[in-house]
Amino acid sequence: MKATTAPRILPPVLLAAVLLALALSGLQPHDRATWLMETCWVIVGLPVLVATRKRFPLSPLLCCLLAAHALVLIVGGHYTYAEVPVGHWLQDALDLSRNPYDRFGHLMQGFVPAILVRELLVRSSPLRGSAWLAPLTVCACLAFSAFFEMIEWWAALAGGHAADAFLATQGDQWDTQWDMACALLGAVVSLLLLSRLHDRRLARLGTREARTV
């Protein structure tokens, strides 16, 4: 496969994989309402990405990260975060007090959106190369995490005990604070690990866009 064709093939392949996983996860989930609440980000996000793919194509790195995040949400939606089998395995193997899949999900809630926010800011604002780029990206990720915790609060008020599977607190009174801390850590680690790689991918994407004009 030629290097120039790989970026074009990657998004459809990732889209097909996510759609297949989403369809399979909807078959007899642990709790249908929880599945809908956890996967709604995928259900809403996919049409948006497809609709904007020509006007604002995403970098291959971001496409891979978004697909990985979608799979994390889909698995959590199918089993509920407190009942994901691999989380139970880790809980037993590491002698943890709770299923850690929820914590991993919130790490991803910071890790992946950090690159999404960074790409949007680099490509559509004057912040490219600015010292403010990383701090503002982290702040945006933390703001989204706080907003998500407010959604969980509203769900708890509306659903009562029926929302327990969605909340996945597992009896931890500090679950909200832990979730936001995990998202913050994920965003910081993502920027530290991927910023240079992201810049290279964005440079290649800009070159390809220039050739098509």
Whole-prediction pTM: 0.86
* Local structure of 72: helix, strand or coil: helix
Report the interhelical angle of 60-79 vs 175-212 (nearest 10°): 140
Angle of CA points 60, 108, 158, to nearest 5°: 125
- What DSSP designation does 81 have? G
Contact call for residues 97 and 173 (beta carbons, < 8 A)? no
Q: What is the pLDDT along the chain (213 residues), one digit of tens a residue?
A: 455 555 678 889 999 999 999 999 999 999 888 898 889 999 999 999 999 988 999 999 999 999 999 999 999 999 988 889 999 999 899 988 888 899 999 999 999 999 999 999 999 999 988 999 999 999 999 999 988 888 877 766 665 554 555 555 556 677 788 899 999 999 999 999 999 999 999 998 865 554 444
139: left (phi over 0), alpha (psi -120 to 50) or beta: alpha
Within a 10 A sphere around the Cβ of 91, how many other Cβ atoms?
Answer: 16
